[in-house]
């Protein structure tokens, strides 16, 4: 992830080098070479995605017409992308952002050990029906809509048991498709409360 960009654009390469120094290990090597199992760990995934996003921005900036940044009215991001947007807007510098999201990832992983939580995308079903599915499949476990990606695409998060029950139930109730996501933690649900509280203290 990001290797071709780094090889082609000095500005992008500089972003990866700065990110490496900020986290104190060769994050760029993991981005470029893997292994994929390491890159999927959220404490690595989050700074890797942030660094790659900012590297893309800096590569674009190197080729854009002069003064283009001054014409940007706002910056926004989806989930982790909020931190990339803060860097793009100049509200947070790259080094601080990389360190923050590294810690954010560590806290999230510590809140729910690998394998105990899960996420799945439910396609072809309105969010109101997905909410009912979550209620019916929870059986006392945490399970809730986590991301509303489109009118008929909702990502759910919770315990692995509950998400697996929901996948079966969604198919029975007419969802077009369900996809288990290759993530190491169940983001955007109540299982992340301990991580949220720890990160809030750091910020």
User: What's the pLDDT tens digit per position in 40-51?
Assistant: 888 999 999 999
Strand order in the sheet with 177-180: 143-150, 153-159, 117-123, 177-180
> Residue 19 has what pLDDT?
96
Instruction: Write down all domains in the chain, each with its CATH number in brackets.
Output: 3-110 (3.40.366.10), 117-192 (3.30.70.250)
Percentage of residues in the chain with pLDDT exceeding 70?
100
Q: Please, which residues bridge with residue 196 across strands?
A: none
> Residue 124 has what pLDDT?
97
Q: What is the mean pLDDT of residues 88-102?
A: 95
> Residue 114 has what pLDDT?
86
Q: What is the mean pLDDT of residues 138-161?
A: 96
User: What's the pLDDT tens digit per position in 4-18?
Assistant: 888 888 999 999 999
Query: Given the structure tokens 């981005």, which residue do they identify?
Result: 31
Instruction: Name the DSSP letter for residue 112.
Output: S
Q: Is the pLDDT of residue 119 over 90?
A: yes
As annotated, the active-site residues are: 79, 188
pLDDT, mean over the chain: 93
> Residue 91 has what pLDDT?
93
pLDDT level of residue 30 (50, 70, 90 thresholds):
very high
Question: Do 18 and 95 contact (CB within 8 A), yes or no?
Answer: yes
> Residue 4 has what pLDDT?
86
Instruction: Please tell me the total number of residues recorded for the chain in this structure.
Output: 203
Beta strands (DSSP E) in 25-142 are 117-123
Determine the distance from the C-alpha atom of residue 143 to the mean position of all C-alpha atoms in its chain, rounded to a whole number.
18
> Residue 96 has what pLDDT?
96
Q: What is the mean pLDDT of residues 115-129?
A: 96
pLDDT level of residue 37 (50, 70, 90 thresholds):
confident
- Residue 113's φ and ψ, nearest 5 degrees, are -55, 150
* Dist CA 18 CA 40 (whole Å): 21
Helix (H) / strand (E) element for 143: namely: strand 143-150
């Amino acid at each position: 992830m990001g290797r071709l960009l780094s090889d082609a654009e000095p500005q992008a390469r500089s972003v990866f080098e700065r990110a490496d120094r900020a986290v104190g290990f060769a994050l760029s090597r993991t981005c470029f070479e893997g292994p994929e199992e390491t890159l999927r760990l959220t404490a690595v995934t989050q700074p890797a995605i942030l660094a790659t996003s900012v590297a893309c921005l800096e590569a674009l900036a190197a080729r854009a017409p002069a003064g283009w940044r001054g014409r940007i009215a706002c910056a926004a991001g989806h989930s982790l992308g909020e931190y990339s947007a803060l860097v793009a807007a100049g509200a947070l510098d790259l080094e601080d952002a990389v360190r923050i999201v590294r810690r954010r990832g560590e806290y999230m992983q510590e809140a729910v050990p690998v394998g105990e939580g899960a996420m799945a995308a439910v396609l072809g079903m309105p969010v109101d029906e997905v909410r009912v599915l979550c209620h019916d499949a929870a059986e006392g476990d945490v399970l809730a809509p986590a991301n509303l990606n489109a009118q008929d695409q909702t990502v759910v998060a919770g315990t692995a048991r509950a998400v697996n029950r929901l996948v079966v139930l969604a198919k029975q109730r007419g969802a077009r498709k369900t996809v288990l996501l290759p993530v190491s933690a169940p983001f955007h649900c109540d299982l992340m409360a301990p991580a949220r509280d720890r990160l809030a203290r750091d910020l």
